[in-house]
């Protein structure tokens, strides 16, 4: 009887086990399996490939390369035993100690330092960033349990400092933080994707385990108008000019006179964007961020106004003294003392006479001068769209005092940036039509299709006749007997341009700084390029004809040759400057 009861108890127990087994296998099984799968499953973000930035000839100025952020699950690293893995490197010990000894020489990090990062109970601990793909492959091949990596990107600027002031930089999240990188961030960024997969105990991805996800969409490539060779030359000459003149900084602008395309925008002392330690205030371009009085280069607008309204001709005669008293009693003088001179309007411009400019320009109303300055683009955004741009200040006639009303005639009592001044000369070179200044030529999407970008609308400022007369007058500055810009000459090419010396705000906000400049275009008989050179606080000479003109000559000569522009076919025929 007793044996029978034992048999019954055993049978009941077996039936219970069988029932539980059926419950686990058939009833709860799918749910338990799903829970286990969910515990193994992880979702990561797949970064989108950031678009490249190219120069006008397709040279890569900025690109992104794959890097890895290496991390560990410290609880799993503790279980690693290299002696049990035939593919593991030969190292002493187990766990974090062994892993640190294996990884240290590959990452070039002291084993003790690495060991501290590997040891602990954190399930996710970053141990290295910006790891090269080849380095990650070596680490991955060690078979260390709990070792993983997430793909990231690192922005690389192959040309170093060349055009860095325009390109800007990205932050640690690979988002544009300055320059074109910031301005065009939405175009360059693309759309991140995602990947969902199952991980094994060691943190490794389980092959063929039903991976799902959404593919990342790469950003678009951006083709700029910048010519890398011309940009490099402009930066080199800007740096050389700082050394030669003792200036605080030098800016060089190179534009296509016909289209407004910026071929170079160079700042001396440009920092390498590959160096993340460079402070944000040392990036960017003074060409658009810093404003100053244009000085004598602003006389071009006054001359254009006089010619356009028929108030004067290039050969109109004036008796010009060292000083000139305006109708309201304000007295203006030239940069150096001289006796009474008999100058034509062309001569006033060639000799850069302040008193002569005020004498001739007094025939213009304040409103007429204000309207012409606005038509030339002063006091307005350049259209380049670079972060931190300052539009300068042009006061309306009602806001001008008795002196400012005349001072604007020779480029004082207003502020501009370097690109705005270059645009004035491009307008004259382009037959009186102001071309839209622009830096972006077009974009190429992930589908490989190129889309040209609309640069903007051209605007008629003065007539073709006025532009032609003014061009010939500007040739007198370089080619005339008493011109102030002789050092801007480019052998084989006719050059039209203007020297300038102007005041600018110093560190204390007062007008205690000097900007010496030369801005012009060539060939004057068939203009192709406009170049502006701006030298802040030169120690060797304050005159643009001495400090800025030689830089203009070098940059313009190189650029014309680089673009294959034929030399001038005729000789200059400047107007008479005296009578």
| Backbone torsions φ then ψ of 36, nearest 5 degrees | -65, -40
Token representation of residue 224: 């700029």
Q: What's the gap between Cα 306 and its chain centre?
A: 38
Q: Which residues contact 20 (CB under 8 A, 6 or more apart)?
A: none
Distance CA 393, CA 273 (A): 31
Among 36, 43, 79, 31, smallest CA distance to 205 is for: 43
Q: Which two tokens stand for residue 104?
A: 């240290």
Q: What is the dihedral of CA 224, 228, 233, 239, to 10 degrees?
A: 70
3-state secondary structure of 176: strand
Return the closest-CA partner of residue 431 out of 460, 399, 405: 460
**DSSP string computed for 57-88:** TS-EEEEEEEEEEEEE-HHHHTT--GGG-TTS
Neighbours of 261 (CB within 10 A): 22
Q: Where are the alpha helices (DSSP H) in 154-276?
A: 164-167, 179-183, 185-189, 228-245
Q: Look at the block and give the residue holding tokens 């006008």.
A: 56
DSSP state at residue 508: T
Tokens of 267: 């700042």
Is 296 marked active-site? yes
Q: Which two tokens stand for residue 575?
A: 């107007």
Looking at 190-273, list the stretches that DSSP marks H as alpha helix, in order from N- to C-terminal side: 228-245
CA 394 to CA 460: how far, in whole Å?
Answer: 20
DSSP 3-state assignment of 551? helix
Q: Which two tokens stand for residue 83?
A: 């002696």
Residue bearing tokens 């000085």? 295
Query: Residue 416 burial by CB count (10 A; 0-12/13-18/19+): exposed, middle or buried?
Result: buried
Catalytic residue among 64, 220, 296, 476: 296
Give yes or no for a contact between 544 and 531, defined as CB atoms under 8 angstroms apart: no
CA dihedral 333, 338, 344, 348 (to 10 degrees): -40
Measured CA to CA, the distance from residue 60 to residue 349 in angstroms comes to 43
* Residues annotated catalytic, as ranges: 296
């Amino acid at each position: 009887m007793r044996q029978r009861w034992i048999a019954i108890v055993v049978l009941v127990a077996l039936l219970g086990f069988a029932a539980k087994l059926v419950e686990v296998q058939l009833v709860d099984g799918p749910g338990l399996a799903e829970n286990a799968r969910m515990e193994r499953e992880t979702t990561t973000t797949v970064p989108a490939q950031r678009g490249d930035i190219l120069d006008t000839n397709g040279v890569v100025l900025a690109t992104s390369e794959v890097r890895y952020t290496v991390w560990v699950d410290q609880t799993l690293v503790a279980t690693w035993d290299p002696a049990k893995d035939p593919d593991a490197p030969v190292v002493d010990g187990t766990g974090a100690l062994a892993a640190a000894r294996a990884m240290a020489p590959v990452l070039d990090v002291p084993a003790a330092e690495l060991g501290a990062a590997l040891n602990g109970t954190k399930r996710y601990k970053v141990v290295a960033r910006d790891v090269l793909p080849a380095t990650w492959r070596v680490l991955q091949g060690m078979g260390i349990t709990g070792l993983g990596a997430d793909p990231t990107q690192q922005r690389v600027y192959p040309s170093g400092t060349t055009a860095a002031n325009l390109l800007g930089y990205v932050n640690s999240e690979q988002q544009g933080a300055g320059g074109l990188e910031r301005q065009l961030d939405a175009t360059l960024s693309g759309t991140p994707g995602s990947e969902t997969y199952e991980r094994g105990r060691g943190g490794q991805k389980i092959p063929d385990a039903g991976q799902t996800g959404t593919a990342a969409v790469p950003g678009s490539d951006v083709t700029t108008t910048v010519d890398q060779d011309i940009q490099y030359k402009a930066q080199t000459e800007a740096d050389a000019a700082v050394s030669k003149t003792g200036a605080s900084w030098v800016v060089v602008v190179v534009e296509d006179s016909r289209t407004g395309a910026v071929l170079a925008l160079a700042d001396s002392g440009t920092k390498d964007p590959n160096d993340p330690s460079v402070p944000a205030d040392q990036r960017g371009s003074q060409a658009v961020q810093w404003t100053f009085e244009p000085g004598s280069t602003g006389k071009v607008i006054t001359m254009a106004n006089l010619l356009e309204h028929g108030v004067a001709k290039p050969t109109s005669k004036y008796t010009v003294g060292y000083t000139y008293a305006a109708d309201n009693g304000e007295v203006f003088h030239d940069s150096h003392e001289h006796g009474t001179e008999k100058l034509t309007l062309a001569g006033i411009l060639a000799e850069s006479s302040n008193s002569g400019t005020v004498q001739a320009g007094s025939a213009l109303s304040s409103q007429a001068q204000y309207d012409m300055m606005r038509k030339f683009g002063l006091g307005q955004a350049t259209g380049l769209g670079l972060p931190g741009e300052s539009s300068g200040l042009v006061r309306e006639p009602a806001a001008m005092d008795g002196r400012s009303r005349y001072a604007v005639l020779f480029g004082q009592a207003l502020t501009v940036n370097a690109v705005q001044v270059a645009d004035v000369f491009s307008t004259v070179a382009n037959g009186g039509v102001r071309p839209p200044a622009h830096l972006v030529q077009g974009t190429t999407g992930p589908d490989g299709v190129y889309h040209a970008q609309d640069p903007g609308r051209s605007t008629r400022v003065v007539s073709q006749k006025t532009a032609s007369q003014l061009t010939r007058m500007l040739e007198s500055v370089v080619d005339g007997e008493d011109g102030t810009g002789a050092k801007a000459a480019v052998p084989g090419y006719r050059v039209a341009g203007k020297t300038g010396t102007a005041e600018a705000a110093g560190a204390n906000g007062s007008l205690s700084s000097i900007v010496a400049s030369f801005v012009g275009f060539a060939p004057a008989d068939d203009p192709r390029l406009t170049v502006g050179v701006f030298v802040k606080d030169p120690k060797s000479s304050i005159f643009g004809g001495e400090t800025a003109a030689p830089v203009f000559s070098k940059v313009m000569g190189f650029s014309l040759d680089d673009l294959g522009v034929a030399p001038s076919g005729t000789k200059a025929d400047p107007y008479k400057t005296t009578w």
